[in-house]
Structure 1
Amino acid sequence: MALLFRWLIRIASALILLAVAAFVLAWYFAARSLPDYDATLEVAGLTAPVEIVRDNANVPHIFGQSDADVFYALGLAHAQDRLWQMTMLRRTAQGKLSELYGRRTVEIDTVLRRFDIYTAARNSVGAMDTDTQAALDAYAAGVNAWIAEVNAGARGRGAPEMWLFNHALAPWQPADSVAIVKLMAVQLSGHLEEEVLRARTSLALEDQARLADILPDHPGAGLAALPDFASLVPDLPKVTPGTQMASEITRDPLWPLPPRGLAGASNAWAAGISRSATGSTLLANDPHLGLSAPGLFYLARLELQSGGVIGGTIPGVPLVLTGRNAHLGWGITSSYLDDQDLFIEEVNPADASQYRTPDGWANFVTRDSIIRIKDAPSVTIRLQWTQNGPVLTPDQFDLQEIRPPGHVFALGWTALSHEDTTIQAGMALMRARTVEDGIAAGEDFVAPAQVLTLADRNTIGMKLIGHVPDRDPDHVTKGRMPHFGYIAENRWRGHRPYDDNPGWVAPAGGIVGNTNNKIVEAPFPAHVSHTWGDSQRINRWRGLMQDRRVHTRESFIEAQLDTVSFTARSLLPLIGADLWFTGEAAAEGTPQRLRQEALTLLSEWNGEMNEHLPEPLIYAAWLRALQDRLIRDDLGPLAREYAHVEPLFIERVFRDVDGAAAWCDIRQSAPTETCTDIARLSLDDALVWITETYGDNLESLRWGDAHEATHDHPVLGEAPVLNWFVNIRQSTSGGDNTLMRGRTAGSGPRPFENVHAAVYRGVYDFADPDSSVFITSTGQSGHPLSRYYDDLGELWRRGEYIPMSLDPALARGGAVGITQLRPESD
């Protein structure tokens, strides 16, 4: 027995030593890819020495003797810190993820191959002016210089992930940068799925008048009534809610198209001199995207020949997308422009290679594309195009639910342009000195369409930038639902003139702003969009702006971090109108007592979505359960697609706008339920869920426990053990409808996780530009072993910022490293 025990001890000790050795070895190889920021490198393709000064937040300040050398160094800096992220963005755009991940990503690759954005990106490079092409070439050379350094210096393959997903790393090309911008359009666009959902909902509803409730128009000018989808497509069978299949909302973290409600969002506002206490203008911007580790944005400063530029960049793209130079600041917000249309194309029954056009039958343009799959045979797919755009297969985007027999769907989309000069517009914007210059630069912007907010030292302005489809006023569905591509009135006629895009310069009120709200009240086709990203935050923003006669940098920061929900303040009195302080006292431990305690807490709450309070969780769970009860009996499984609460829908129901209170009656039950009944039952539903998940002590609940920010690694975030190193989780305030927006997941076991929020915040004061501040959601490095992987994340969570200065002395004074780049000697 003693001998056996000794051998067990020896074996256990050996296993522990082997585990420790394996851990140390893995750590060593992973750490090899950490860059040395104090290195001197001789690199090919550089014309003169360049300095990359990294300040105490690891923000690179790049100083060179030509713009080409500066962009070269930016490419090298991006690759040093985010090579894996850049590689994944490029592979996603190319539709080549399956070469690394196998069958898991075949569907993703198939969708991106059908969009064919990489071909469009290659062709777009030639459409840009020579200066932009030179910048793209220089940037690509800088990325490739770091890849060469990794290969020559055995630097751990450039990123720890490369050890797990080893594959040949192709040289960076100018088209790769253009493709990443187009990929951003993929991630920011939602009109395709919105059209499909509207059509599916129209088929499911017996009363078509109720479509305007669940998919409401935002307040403003009304629209003429549209036909229901069944009358547009009479051959399509009516689908009953009980049998209709709904797609699952949960998707692979690598899936580039956002679920409904999680497309791009943002805030931006500016104050002119008349509304500023500083004597000059102010500008604030915080773009909202899906949270990830690392975050999408990367801070950088470029010293161009036209002067310094500093702000947020996206690794892989040689642009400061949001930021400032010495004279001008600019911010971007998702415009929600309706830049996508689904065309129903009739296939020739006598010849499947043809489809119907206004002028008769025409041949599909076709091309085969091979998807190579790791550890599996390659798959060849047949790509098709009509005059309206690429053909999508019925198994994508739930198109099988609405496809009439003998037809296919083609996608019209401005982002698929082969003459995309968006990067050229960004280059001009970085060099602009006035609001007028910035607006002029926006003319070359194609996609993704944005609302550009501008401030120079004296003036503020705003302009919708991006190509706006030119639709016929007689368009059958006004672009809201799929429509037949052979009807001439349904087809695009190019894009509208840039001068027609909505814009404002030096408004009389002295303030401009956008929270993805409706920006123009104009009849179709000058309407911009039927679907907007916000109808709630704008109300809180308007109040905060008008509460002060003049503003400061601090008041703009305060607004950016505001967590009061206008939605909660306006809806709770409606849905609880007949419940507050009613009924007899209930016994301790009963559902009735718990409901009374919840109502008491909510009655004394000011609507602040603070992470430390219980009321936001009770309110959010109640609203979620309420919407589900209202729509589940009418929509059946399709109700799962409505994962986020639509405040305008709840308001219409409880105010009985145009008979919307009909949603409160459960169709399958004999009694006639009132909205008060449904409000009470849904509150009980919410409290049952809260009790099962967090316990029945309501006062001890914390919104932040449910509303964790999920900065997850898109590849390793679900891997056991590794997820402890690569994921960043934080308790956060805010919610779906607050200015400090923390959009919730909406579905799954943790529906209130914060999955979509500000990935960048910046506030610029042109009375003292170097007092401007900014922050990103994680850190500069994409390397989990770097101290710069998550160092900015805690500042971001607490609502803190770092300086945004163009003063070289300040950057050098706190530098954590200075990289010297030297032209390679002959």
Structure 2
Amino acid sequence: MAWIFRWLVRLASGLIFLTVAALVLAYYFASRSLPDYNATSTVAGISAPVEIVRDNANVPHIFGSSDADAYFGLGYAHAQDRLWQMTMLRRTAQGRLSELFGERTLPIDEVLRRFDLYNLSVASVAAQDDRTKAALQAYSAGVNAWLEEVNTGARGRGAPEMWLFSHPVAPWQPADSIAILKLMALQLTSHLENEVLRARTSLLIDNDRLRDILPDDPSQGIAALPEYAQLVPGVPQFTPSTYAARDPLFPVKPRALAGASNAWAANATRSATGATLLANDPHLELTAPSIWYLARMELSSGGVIGGTIPGMPVILTGRSANLGWGITTAYVDDQDILIEEINPDNPNEYRGPDGWEPFRKRDSIVNVKDAPAVTLRLRWTANGPVMPRTQFDLGTITPPGHVTAIAWSALSDRDPSMSAAIAVMYTHNVEDAIAAGENYIAPAQNLVLADRNRIAMKTIGALPARSADHQSQGRYPAFGYLRENRWQGRFPYSDNPEFTDPDGGIIGNTNNKTTDRPFPHHVSFTWGDTQRINRWRRLMQARGVHTRDSFIEAQLDTVSFTARSLLTLMGADLWYTGDAAPIGTPERKRQVALELLSNWNGEMNEHLPEPLIYATWLRIFHDRLIRDELGPLAREFTHADPVFIERVFRDINGASIWCDVIQSAPLETCTDIARQSLDAAILWINEHHGEAIEAVRWGDAHQATHDHPVLGETPMLKWVVNIRQSTSGGDHTMQRARTSGTGLNPFENVHAAGYRGVYDFADPESSVFISATGQSGHPLSRYYDNLGELWRRGEYIPMSLDPDLARAAAVGVTVLRPEE
């Protein structure tokens, strides 16, 4: 027996040794791609030495003798820290993910190939102005200089992920940067999915109830629309969804997680210092690393600093010495679904206004790892690319003998949006910045501006010109062969909403409705916010004048206007009613929950139980309202719309009928459903977070999920690459922290402000900013999550253009020297 024991010990020791050796070897190879920030390199593509000074937060401050050299330095820094992220964004836009990930990502590649974003980007290079062409070329040269160093200097393939998904990395091209901007346009729009959902829902309920569940902004009414079944006859009354759960790599996000942001500015009359202020926090899906990368460049026009997206040579939100700019998603209705009739005698033709027309066609080959290549037959009509029925649930709203084409403003092969974005960086005042936005096409944004004297907001991006006779006003899919349903170009830039130096001294946007103009000169029927705007107004008007700190306070505000308004309706007939109940009974638990909520001010603080009680109650109440009417389609409504809930409780146009359960004999009231939902909410909380409802924490359920898009679900590795944090805020707070609304953890924080910045032109050097994770995309870098805890706590780092401050505590200085 002793020899068996000895051999078991030897075997166990050997396994431990091999495991440790494997881990050490893996660490060695992964760590080889960590860049040395204190280095001097000789590179091709610059005219004079370039210096990249990384301050103590690892924000690069780039100094060159020319603008081209500065862009080169930015490309080099982006590639050093985010090479994997950049290549993944490029692959996504190209529709080439399946080369790495196999059949899993084939549906993603198919969507991107059909939109043809990359070829449109290649063609759009010629549409850029000379300055932008030079910037794109220099930036690409900077990226490629780092790629050359990786290839020749044993830099561990540039990123640890590339050991797991080995594939040659092609040199960076100017079109790659334009493609990423177009990819962002795809991520930020949700009108395609909104049209499909509105059409599907209209097949199940009448127009009055449709206005309840998909309400218009209550401050604006619109003319009644025909029901979709009348507009497009022949569609089945209900078809089960074929749209599978989204892959984390899919750039089209669920409609509830479309782009969002806050931005506002105050002029001298509303500033305590007599100078302008500006705050901006764009909201995107949380990932590790964040999509945002903080950087500063010294250009011929002066220094610029702020938030960049790796892959693009532009400060998208930031400031110079004299101008600050911020962005919010404008929710422009920039997509339409056109239903195209196929010629029954010739499937290669579709109906046009003057008869049958041929599809424009091209084959595209998708290479798939460990599987045969797939050939896609791409088709276009005059309205746009044809999408298959299996994508976006289009099969559920397309009649037999028809296909659907997508009209979208971003599908331009002469798109100078990059030139417009770069031009804004060179301007010094509000007027010139607004003029610079004229050539911007997509993604449509509200550009919020502040120079040293003035403030303004301008919607930039193409507003499609629709006919006043459009069948559905762009809200439903409509027949593409009718001239009135086809786009008639774009409205002039001067027609885009613009607000300059308002009398009240403050201007801003929380994705709320920006104009009351009627169709077709409207901006959209669907807006991203009806709630945060109420809290923002209160915060702005509560002070006669503002400071940098009051703007920070507003960015971090976690009081939910929605909770405060809806709880008075949901609990109206439940507060302090009923007899005293024994401890542990459902009635007693309900009374305890109501007691907590009755004394709550609506603050969605991570340490409180009330936000979890409220959010769970609202979620279950909403589901019980719609489940019997909508059936399986109810799962598409992942988040309760506060306007819908209010319509139900106030019985606007008979909306309280939603509270009656169709399948039951009794007539249920909203009070009945509210009480039942609260009991179910308490039960859910007890099962998932413990019996003591007074001791539960919102932050335990509301964790920010900064997950690695590729490795985030990989056993073992996910503990290294994912970043999880307990967070405050909620769906409708100024510190927006949108919940997932699905799965086992429906309250996870998945969509929030990955960047925050506040710019003070009384003392520009006191301006501050932060990003959600860290500057590096390398999980072994100490800068992978160095900013994450500051972001979670609501702290910021200095946003200074002073080179001496950057050098004072620099973590490294990289010097790039030109080849002799």
Taking the aligned partners of 1:558 and 1:247, their CA distance within structure 2 comes to 44
Conservation of the 8 A alpha-carbon contact between 1:93 and 1:179: yes
Taking the aligned partners of 1:121 and 1:641, their CA distance within structure 2 comes to 33
Question: Can you list the C-alpha shifts for 1:493-552, whole angstroms capped at 9, x where unaligned?
Answer: 001000000011111110000000001111001110000000000000000000000000
Conservation of the 8 A alpha-carbon contact between 1:249 and 1:640: no
Conservation of the 8 A alpha-carbon contact between 1:390 and 1:411: yes
> Quick check: 1:224 aligned with 2:223?
yes
Deviation of the 1:204 alpha carbon: 1.4
Taking the aligned partners of 1:257 and 1:238, their CA distance within structure 2 comes to 26
SS in 1 for 2:682: helix
Which residue does the alignment assign to 2:181? 181
Taking the aligned partners of 2:244 and 2:799, their CA distance within structure 1 comes to 39
Return the letter of the residue paired with 2:772: S
1:294 to 289, 293, 311: 289
Which residue does the alignment assign to 2:95? 95
Deviation of the 1:578 alpha carbon: 0.4
Which residue does the alignment assign to 1:819? 814
Which residue does the alignment assign to 2:381? 386
Conservation of the 8 A alpha-carbon contact between 1:196 and 1:481: yes
SS in 2 for 1:300: strand
Which residue does the alignment assign to 2:106? 106
2:475 to 471, 476, 480: 480
SS in 1 for 2:255: coil
Return the letter of the residue paired with 2:83: L
> Quick check: 1:163 aligned with 2:172?
no
Which residue does the alignment assign to 2:33? 33
Question: Can you list the C-alpha shifts for 1:783-825, whole angstroms capped at 9, x where unaligned?
Answer: 0000000010000000000000000100011111000000112
Which residue does the alignment assign to 2:574? 579
Taking the aligned partners of 1:794 and 1:542, their CA distance within structure 2 comes to 29
> Quick check: 1:782 aligned with 2:793?
no
Conservation of the 8 A alpha-carbon contact between 1:246 and 1:640: no
Conservation of the 8 A alpha-carbon contact between 2:243 and 2:392: no
1:634-783 superposed matches below 5 A: 634-783=629-778
> Quick check: 1:461 aligned with 2:456?
yes
Return the letter of the residue paired with 1:714: P
Deviation of the 1:303 alpha carbon: 0.1
> Quick check: 1:306 aligned with 2:305?
no
Which residue does the alignment assign to 1:555? 550
1:29-178 superposed matches below 5 A: 29-178=29-178
Taking the aligned partners of 1:694 and 1:807, their CA distance within structure 2 comes to 49
Return the letter of the residue paired with 2:25: L
Conservation of the 8 A alpha-carbon contact between 1:328 and 1:434: yes
Are the structure 2 counterparts of residues 692 and 604 from structure 1 closer, same or farther at C-alpha, using a change threshold of 3 Å?
same
Conservation of the 8 A alpha-carbon contact between 2:243 and 2:393: no
> Quick check: 1:208 aligned with 2:207?
yes
> Quick check: 1:233 aligned with 2:232?
yes
Return the letter of the residue paired with 1:449: A
SS in 1 for 2:282: strand
Are the structure 2 counterparts of residues 751 and 247 from structure 1 closer, same or farther at C-alpha, using a change threshold of 3 Å?
farther
Deviation of the 1:233 alpha carbon: 1.3
1:561-640 superposed matches below 5 A: 561-640=556-635
Taking the aligned partners of 2:701 and 2:220, their CA distance within structure 1 comes to 38
Deviation of the 1:426 alpha carbon: 1.2
Taking the aligned partners of 1:299 and 1:415, their CA distance within structure 2 comes to 26
Question: Can you list the C-alpha shifts for 1:41-82, whole angstroms capped at 9, x where unaligned?
Answer: 000111111100000000000000110011011001000000
Conservation of the 8 A alpha-carbon contact between 1:250 and 1:748: no
Percent identity among equivalent residues? Answer: 70
Taking the aligned partners of 2:90 and 2:619, their CA distance within structure 1 comes to 37
Taking the aligned partners of 2:404 and 2:360, their CA distance within structure 1 comes to 14
Taking the aligned partners of 1:526 and 1:777, their CA distance within structure 2 comes to 37
Return the letter of the residue paired with 1:391: V
SS in 2 for 1:648: helix
Taking the aligned partners of 2:743 and 2:101, their CA distance within structure 1 comes to 24
Are the structure 2 counterparts of residues 788 and 313 from structure 1 closer, same or farther at C-alpha, using a change threshold of 3 Å?
same
CA RMSD of aligned residues (A): 0.7
SS in 2 for 1:35: coil
Taking the aligned partners of 2:625 and 2:242, their CA distance within structure 1 comes to 20
Return the letter of the residue paired with 1:456: D
Deviation of the 1:249 alpha carbon: 7.1
Conservation of the 8 A alpha-carbon contact between 1:449 and 1:465: yes
1:491 to 483, 486, 501: 486
Taking the aligned partners of 2:785 and 2:62, their CA distance within structure 1 comes to 23
Conservation of the 8 A alpha-carbon contact between 1:66 and 1:305: yes
Taking the aligned partners of 2:304 and 2:272, their CA distance within structure 1 comes to 25
Deviation of the 1:685 alpha carbon: 1.4
Taking the aligned partners of 2:483 and 2:186, their CA distance within structure 1 comes to 27
Which residue does the alignment assign to 1:18? 18
Return the letter of the residue paired with 2:122: R
Taking the aligned partners of 1:235 and 1:262, their CA distance within structure 2 comes to 32
Return the letter of the residue paired with 2:705: T
Deviation of the 1:219 alpha carbon: 2.1
Question: Can you list the C-alpha shifts for 1:398-434, whole angstroms capped at 9, x where unaligned?
Answer: 1111111110000000111111111101111000100
Deviation of the 1:221 alpha carbon: 2.5
Taking the aligned partners of 1:623 and 1:290, their CA distance within structure 2 comes to 23
> Quick check: 1:261 aligned with 2:264?
no
Conservation of the 8 A alpha-carbon contact between 1:564 and 1:608: yes
Deviation of the 1:632 alpha carbon: 0.2
Count of residue correspondences: 820
Taking the aligned partners of 1:98 and 1:279, their CA distance within structure 2 comes to 56
Unaligned runs of 5+ in 2: none
Question: Can you list the C-alpha shifts for 1:215-273, whole angstroms capped at 9, x where unaligned?
Answer: 0000223111000100011222323xxxx424567421111100121010000000000
Question: Can you list the C-alpha shifts for 1:132-173, whole angstroms capped at 9, x where unaligned?
Answer: 101101100110010000000010000000000000111101
Taking the aligned partners of 1:639 and 1:696, their CA distance within structure 2 comes to 30
Return the letter of the residue paired with 2:219: G
Taking the aligned partners of 2:187 and 2:447, their CA distance within structure 1 comes to 18
Taking the aligned partners of 1:236 and 1:2, their CA distance within structure 2 comes to 77
Conservation of the 8 A alpha-carbon contact between 1:611 and 1:707: yes
Structure 1: 4+ residue segments shifted above 4 A: none
1:332 to 324, 327, 332: 327
Conservation of the 8 A alpha-carbon contact between 2:243 and 2:391: no
Return the letter of the residue paired with 2:55: D
Deviation of the 1:39 alpha carbon: 0.5
Taking the aligned partners of 1:685 and 1:119, their CA distance within structure 2 comes to 52
Are the structure 2 counterparts of residues 53 and 163 from structure 1 closer, same or farther at C-alpha, using a change threshold of 3 Å?
same
SS in 1 for 2:211: helix
Conservation of the 8 A alpha-carbon contact between 1:517 and 1:535: yes
Conservation of the 8 A alpha-carbon contact between 2:621 and 2:673: yes
What is the TM-score normalised by the length of structure 2? 0.99
SS in 1 for 2:361: strand
Conservation of the 8 A alpha-carbon contact between 1:539 and 1:566: yes
SS in 1 for 2:127: coil
Return the letter of the residue paired with 2:4: L
Deviation of the 1:3 alpha carbon: 0.9
Conservation of the 8 A alpha-carbon contact between 1:260 and 1:641: no
Which residue does the alignment assign to 2:526? 531
SS in 2 for 1:729: strand
SS in 2 for 1:601: helix
Conservation of the 8 A alpha-carbon contact between 1:565 and 1:609: yes
Question: Can you list the C-alpha shifts for 1:668-708, whole angstroms capped at 9, x where unaligned?
Answer: 11110001001111111111111111112011100000000
Unaligned runs of 5+ in 1: none
